[in-house]
Chain A
Amino acid sequence: MSEAASNIEWITASALIVDETGLHARPAVKLTKLAKTFEASVEIRGEAQERWVNAKSPNAVMKLKAAYNTPLQIRASGPDAAAAAEALADLVERNFDG
């Protein structure tokens, strides 16, 4: 999978984290639950972070420690990639509401 990674076409999005506590347990749970509803591979990383992590893994998202008032980068690849990227960005923008 990692060898093919460079050939994958990604659809990207970005959203500002407005929760004052950053990307913590409750938002992390919501984000991963939403990501899992898509067939596409979805990955995220914080500002100035090199490594992308699986947005469907709550443990990985938690350890990302994305901070308050920083942009969260989102990328998705697969059949419903565009919808996934948009939905995740929307969730972050809405401050994980609902």
Chain B
Amino acid sequence: MVETLNERILTGVPVSGGSALGVCYRPVEKRFTREKGSPAQEADALRNAVSRAGKELEELVAGLDQLAAEILEFQQVLLEDDDLLEPVFSRIENGESADAAWAVVLAGEIAEYRAADDEYMAARAADLGDLRERVLRALSGPQRADDGPPDGAIVVAGDLTPSAFLEMDWTRLAGAALGAGSATSHVSILARARGVTMVVGLGDIDAPDGEAVALDGRTGTMIVAPSHETRARFQEQISQEAGLKAEEAEIAGKPAVTRAGRKIRVLVNVDDPSILDGLDPEICDGIGLTRTEFLFSKGPPDEETQLQAYETIVRWAKGRPVTIRTLDAGGDKPVPGVTLDGEQNPFLGVRGLRLSLLDRPLFRVQLRAIARAARLGPVKMMVPMVTAPFELDEARAELDLALAELTGEGLAHARPECGIMIETPAAALTAEDWDADFYSIGSNDLIQYVTACARDNPNLAKLADARNPAVLELIARTVAAGKARGVEVSLCGDMASSPELVPLLLSLGLESFSVAPAQVGPVKLAIGSAEGDVANGD
């Protein structure tokens, strides 16, 4: 109780959203309490939990490849190891609960594996840890069904995988605070797209389950056990933000114009057509980026599957331009059966268009699907991760071949415009030399390659700065190249979705922002309140 008198302030990296107040919910480290029974009941409970854990593992293994299955097999056989279980049952016989006995024995084993001074043994300690948690969860049995986070909770974790993030119902949760991660990690991108209040890079978060927590998604501050004053301040902020949200919702439906009268295009980024459900196309000037990787999550999709997805998006846009990025696999986005294994440095490896040009049959299928969708409305094809102009020439030659095939087969199609992403310093510095129909600045990768800071390294989060003058210089040069060649320049990275960066980007001459759907209102509001003179900032 003494602790609650002293609020603890943690500083991390802001990702998205505004102010949130809630109780801490730790999804992974969650502990369960159950009533202890007689020794006989406890022994039964353990036997049931072990058998349930075994069944779970069996089901899990059934869907895995051989390597993963073999790793889990070690856990399976441990559940049948009488020598391992014997001391647990003997502790239970002496009056310990099944939970406590199991946890203590496993903790001893884990410590022994860790102390083995052998990297391989130490790694097996993680298997034992995994097994310990699985059996503890199985022991909590029927309590598990209603064990999800309470409404309005703030999820606190060391890190969250994108799949764990997507499994949670964020309409019921107030926000997320992560120890690791950076503003450009995939889970951050997901949070921004859905308008979830999130702070990452907080380091060790000393907040137990159920503790009161305040979170500020704009400043990157987390306050554990907030004082009365802090709570009142956050309540105030939350109601102000609600008012602002209403304002943003209103402005989202109107065209974006700066105070100086410059008309700005605001487009949306799409990572999965399902994000368009319930989204009104009237709020945007089209789609500035369609990430097609979602189609490849289970390996390469066929032409019809791709065509259906692209058609859904083109139909949604109702005549507005739709930019479809060709497969941007590789780097931190491996695709089973497509990306190359064993690259020492995948971010500098065969990714984006480099991969498409290496696997021409795969590329051809995607180009055919894009060209066929283009018959329904203006479609722009965008190639990612390019370094030298001959890559665009090769992509165009492939497009020509795809179009010729479609003509030969009598399939309806149209030629899409063909533009490039500006992500490498080489492309930014030579933008004027490219015969591109448009440019789109991928600021996340551009920042990574200009500052030499990995996107997901929390230790570099402050160094991977969007405002680094070198980054801004390359954006300004790209905008100038586009003006000189009379083609559109947009920015589709996270910078465009950040209202606080809008005045800066306007001053660099940018007139087209492609943003996460949840950021259309905030970005339009920032545009409307910026002076918006070129090279004059705000």
Q: Does B77 contact A (CB under 8 A)?
A: yes
**Complexed CA–CA distance, A9 and B78 (Å):** 29
**Complexed CA–CA distance, A58 and B127 (Å):** 13
Q: Does B113 contact A (CB under 8 A)?
A: yes
Chain B binder among A11-19, A24-32, A86-94: A24-32
**Complexed CA–CA distance, A49 and B248 (Å):** 73
Across chains A and B, which 8 residue pairs bring their CB atoms closest together, nearest first?
A57-B83, A58-B77, A25-B74, A59-B84, A57-B81, A59-B81, A29-B77, A58-B81
Verify B84–A65 contact, CB threshold 8 A.
no
Q: Return chain A residues, CB-CB under 8 Å to B538.
A: none
Q: Does A21 contact B (CB under 8 A)?
A: yes
Interface centre among B71, B81, B120 (most CB of A within 10 A): B81
Verify B83–A65 contact, CB threshold 8 A.
no
List the A residue with the shortest CB-CB distance to B127: A25
Q: Can you report 25 residue pairs joining A to B where beta carbons are below 8 Å apart?
A: A21-B120, A24-B120, A25-B70, A25-B71, A25-B124, A25-B127, A26-B70, A26-B73, A26-B74, A29-B73, A29-B74, A29-B77, A32-B81, A33-B77, A57-B82, A57-B84, A58-B81, A59-B83, A59-B84, A62-B113, A62-B124, A63-B113, A63-B121, A65-B116, A65-B118
A59's partner among B70, B73, B109 (CB-CB below 8 A) is B109
Q: How far is the CB of B103 from chain A (nearest CB, A)?
A: 16
Q: How far is the CB of B299 from chain A (nearest CB, A)?
A: 27
Q: Return chain A residues, CB-CB under 8 Å to B127.
A: 25
Give residues 119-145 of B contacting A (CB, 8 Å). Answer: 120-121, 124, 127
**Complexed CA–CA distance, A56 and B83 (Å):** 9
Q: Return chain A residues, CB-CB under 8 Å to B241.
A: none
Q: Does A54 contact B (CB under 8 A)?
A: yes
Q: Return chain A residues, CB-CB under 8 Å to B116.
A: 63, 65
Q: Does A40 contact B (CB under 8 A)?
A: no
Q: Return chain A residues, CB-CB under 8 Å to B71.
A: 25
Query: What 1/0 mask marks residues of chain B from 60 to 96 whose CB sits below 8 Å from any chain A CB?
Result: 0000000000110110011001111000000000000
Q: Does B112 contact A (CB under 8 A)?
A: yes
Verify B77–A63 contact, CB threshold 8 A.
no
Q: Size class of A's contact patch?
A: 10 to 19
Interface centre among B83, B116, B118, B121 (most CB of A within 10 A): B83
**Complexed CA–CA distance, A24 and B120 (Å):** 8
Q: Size class of B's contact patch?
A: 10 to 19
Q: Does A82 contact B (CB under 8 A)?
A: no
Known pairs A63-B112, A63-B113; A58 contacts B120 (CB<8 A): no
**Complexed CA–CA distance, A28 and B82 (Å):** 15
Q: A26-B74, A56-B83, A65-B118 are in contact. List 19 more A-B contacts (CB 8 A).
A: A25-B70, A25-B71, A25-B124, A26-B73, A29-B70, A32-B81, A33-B77, A54-B83, A56-B82, A57-B83, A59-B78, A60-B81, A60-B83, A62-B74, A62-B113, A62-B121, A62-B124, A63-B112, A63-B116
Verify B83–A32 contact, CB threshold 8 A.
no
List the A residue with the shortest CB-CB distance to B128: A59
Verify B113–A58 contact, CB threshold 8 A.
no
**Complexed CA–CA distance, A26 and B112 (Å):** 19
Q: How far is the CB of A48 from chain B (nearest CB, A)?
A: 17
**Complexed CA–CA distance, A22 and B83 (Å):** 22
**Complexed CA–CA distance, A25 and B127 (Å):** 11
List the A residue with the shortest CB-CB distance to B120: A24
List the A residue with the shortest CB-CB distance to B67: A26
**Complexed CA–CA distance, A33 and B77 (Å):** 8
**Complexed CA–CA distance, A32 and B83 (Å):** 12
B78's partner among A24, A26, A58 (CB-CB below 8 A) is A58
B74's partner among A56, A57, A58, A60 (CB-CB below 8 A) is A58
Q: Return chain A residues, CB-CB under 8 Å to B82.
A: 56-57
Q: Return chain B residues, CB-CB under 8 Å to A26.
A: 70, 73-74
Q: How far is the CB of A95 from chain B (nearest CB, A)?
A: 15
Query: What 1/0 mask marks residues of chain A from 50 to 89 whose CB sits below 8 Å from any chain B CB?
Result: 0000101111101101000000000000000000000000
B121's partner among A33, A60, A65 (CB-CB below 8 A) is A65
B77's partner among A21, A24, A32, A65 (CB-CB below 8 A) is A32
